[in-house]
Structure 1
Amino acid sequence: MDANPTLDQLQVFLAVAETGSFSAASRALNRAQSVVSYTIANLEAQLEVTLFERNGVRQPKLTDEGAAMLEHARRIVAGLQDMRARAKGLRQGLEAEVSLAISTMVPAEAVVNVLRDFRVEFPTVGLNLNVGELGMVMEMVLNRKTGIGIGGAMFHQDDGLVIERIGHSFMVPVAAVDHPLVLLNRPLTLADVREEVQLVVTDTSGLTKGRDFNVLSYKKWRVSDIATKYQLIKGGLGWGGLPASLVRNDIITGDLKVLELDAYEGGEYPLYALRKADTPAGPAAKWLMDAFQHRLSQCPNTKSFLEAMTSMTADGVRDAAE
């Protein structure tokens, strides 16, 4: 007959192993020592292994088999505790899982910090995370492929969505330090960029089909995602706009240069929290939206960002000279 240990037996086993004796375990569990010894004996009989060495030692010592079983027992008991916590949360209206879509325009640092706090705040809630470009966030919420979205690109109003502005981000036109546009070493005109390759992200959602934003060059290389665009720009293969949060360190180190190009329409890129109007946010989803709003509302504007970058790069030049 297969072994079928009970949760009580496993908890007694853990208590003896962690306290180091049958007597200490009996005090911790508020049970008679004989009951503890009997429970361990029954568990050993079911598993057909000896868990503790008892002969010739003052305190019971785990056998090799006992040490191996201990890890299994811990996982089983922890799993049941997690199941109990999740069931309690569900009874109280807490989601079993939150599905979240985030735009690449949302600073990665903010995403990591919010999700780190989320894990602590809601340890029993699962997370299904999608990160994408342009209209992907809105499309996923509209099609119920995700519960909440954090991003921009509100290309049209939809009465079926609840949309709340929670912060902003912005794009800056950049190129590698050895790119021809950077080597001009002056403010750029539209004529300067017309014949240079501009890297552009294609919106796979279809919400912006036939529409280009800030595309100024005649020569366009289209890529599927921001990460690829970023690597190609760093490699000197073209110029283009990238999220300020993504290129901040590259600007400070001098690997990328911000292009002074009046024709490029900068300004703040609003970020929104989105959900379907007929699907109220649960406690965990509401917490996420509030947490992102708190983080993103503190992002600098374009002017202060560029001033900070100028100051940092100037300090770096002075430090190198000294």
Structure 2
Amino acid sequence: MSMISKSDQVNSQMTLDQLIALDAIVAMGTFRAAAERLNKAQSAISHQIRKLEAELGFDLFSRDGYRPSLTTEGEVFYRETARVLEQVNGLKSVAASLRSEQEAMISVVMTATMSLDPILTVLGDIGRRFPATHIRVATEMMGGPLARLMEGDADLIISGLAGVPLEEVETLPVDTIIIRPVASPSFPAAQRVGIRSRREMQTYTQVIVSGTGGQDFDQSRDLLSGGQRWTVSDFEAKKSVIKAGLGWGGIPVHLMQQELANGELVQLTVEGYPPRHTEIFAIRRRDMPMGQVMSRLWDDLKQARQSMPEPDSNRWKS
């Protein structure tokens, strides 16, 4: 039964705000959460949707359950809404670029698990093209890059997608990294070949790296529960502790190629801890306008990715 009342059957014109409200409800799951996200009263969001439904002539949401769910017609309409909002965001970026001046500084924050090499050429070209712009490049651990982006302290991050609110960002694939569990050849778990069980590995010290994202952006991966842990600040410290035979842990392969080659570190095969392949992306917020330099950097990253072959995970294998 339609929820549209006769009082709602008035002449109206579809607005961008109505489409944004629809998108927020679908993304957040409730009218209340959508209102909080858009910093509006819930009654205002409900009114916008009622007016939109009145103009369309059908219900967008079924309100029978605890959470609103899209009707069949609503699902079709929402798919088109998402395309329209994508185009609107693109127009906003173009307009911002056209009216912008060269930024005094752009901030790029990278995950410490990745090498700078895949983007150095692009950054170098940007630096030569825009010598008046200071390019700040920083590295952060775990959820640190995402925290800097969402807090407005980074224009661009190079990171994995764990925890990233995809509806709020644009992404470009950059590279793939592999993290493997390793230990010193003198470490007890490395003394024989074969798969080490989780129970056995819980008797050894696992070395982990602390995140820099704070509580709201904390990320914990590849942790074995129940065992002793050492926490260090970065991968170089982690590698030193593991090389000293004081524990085991996962390290990006590109950061330990020399140690693997000369035998200072050996790979472990651990139950429930396979080598982890992580896709790395360039990520920017949709609601942050791009100036001339950021627009050029984003376009250059896109062109560089299109001209590269698909990431070959075998290049990191030892």
For Structure 1 versus Structure 2, the TM-score category normalised by the shorter chain is 0.5 to 0.7
- Is 1:305–2:304 an aligned residue pair? no
Q: Deviations over 1:263-313 (max 9, x none)?
A: 204332121222221223334324444555637876431x5532xx1xxxx
Report the counterpart of residue 130 of structure 2 in structure 1. Answer: 122
Report the counterpart of residue 258 of structure 2 in structure 1. Answer: 249
Report the counterpart of residue 290 of structure 2 in structure 1. Answer: 281
The CA distance in 2 between the partners of 1:118 and 1:260, in whole Å, is 42
Indicate the larger mover: 170-179 or 224-233. 224-233
In structure 1, the residue corresponding to 2:238 is in which secondary structure? helix
- Is 1:186–2:198 an aligned residue pair? no
8 Å contact 2:178–2:275 — kept in the other structure?
Answer: yes
8 Å contact 1:234–1:255 — kept in the other structure?
Answer: yes
| The one of 126, 148, 167 aligned to 2:156 | 148
Aligned residues: 217
CA-CA distance at 1:208 after TM superposition: 4.9
1:99/1:267 CA distance change after superposition, 3 Å: same
Percent same amino acid among aligned pairs?
23
Report the counterpart of residue 267 of structure 2 in structure 1. Answer: 258
The CA distance in 1 between the partners of 2:243 and 2:310, in whole Å, is 28
1:277/1:208 CA distance change after superposition, 3 Å: closer
| The one of 261, 272, 278 aligned to 2:281 | 272
Report the counterpart of residue 4 of structure 2 in structure 1. Answer: none
In structure 2, the residue corresponding to 1:169 is in which secondary structure? strand
Report the counterpart of residue 197 of structure 1 in structure 2. Answer: 205
Report the counterpart of residue 53 of structure 2 in structure 1. Answer: none
The CA distance in 2 between the partners of 1:257 and 1:212, in whole Å, is 24
The CA distance in 2 between the partners of 1:145 and 1:297, in whole Å, is 32
Look up the equivalent residue of 1:278 and give its one-letter code.
D
Report the counterpart of residue 57 of structure 2 in structure 1. Answer: none
TM-score by length of 1: 0.59
Look up the equivalent residue of 2:272 and give its one-letter code.
A
CA-CA distance at 1:159 after TM superposition: 3.5
In structure 2, the residue corresponding to 1:216 is in which secondary structure? coil
* Structure 2 unaligned blocks of 5 or more: 1-97
In structure 1, the residue corresponding to 2:195 is in which secondary structure? coil
8 Å contact 1:133–1:226 — kept in the other structure?
Answer: no
Look up the equivalent residue of 1:241 and give its one-letter code.
G
- Is 1:107–2:110 an aligned residue pair? no
CA-CA distance at 1:149 after TM superposition: 0.8
The CA distance in 2 between the partners of 1:97 and 1:232, in whole Å, is 37
1:291/1:134 CA distance change after superposition, 3 Å: farther
In structure 1, the residue corresponding to 2:117 is in which secondary structure? helix
The CA distance in 2 between the partners of 1:297 and 1:229, in whole Å, is 32
- Is 1:225–2:234 an aligned residue pair? yes
1:204/1:216 CA distance change after superposition, 3 Å: same
CA-CA distance at 1:204 after TM superposition: 3.1
Report the counterpart of residue 177 of structure 1 in structure 2. Answer: 185
8 Å contact 1:169–1:299 — kept in the other structure?
Answer: no
8 Å contact 2:174–2:281 — kept in the other structure?
Answer: yes
Q: Deviations over 1:73-105 (max 9, x none)?
A: xxxxxxxxxxxxxxxxx9983322211111112
Look up the equivalent residue of 2:312 and give its one-letter code.
P
Q: Deviations over 1:92-130 (max 9, x none)?
A: 833222111111122143354544444334333211222
Indicate the larger mover: 151-160 or 230-239. 151-160
8 Å contact 1:214–1:265 — kept in the other structure?
Answer: no
Q: Deviations over 1:144-168 (max 9, x none)?
A: 0111111114314253333333332
| The one of 139, 150, 153 aligned to 2:147 | 139
The CA distance in 1 between the partners of 2:243 and 2:299, in whole Å, is 35
The CA distance in 2 between the partners of 1:227 and 1:183, in whole Å, is 24
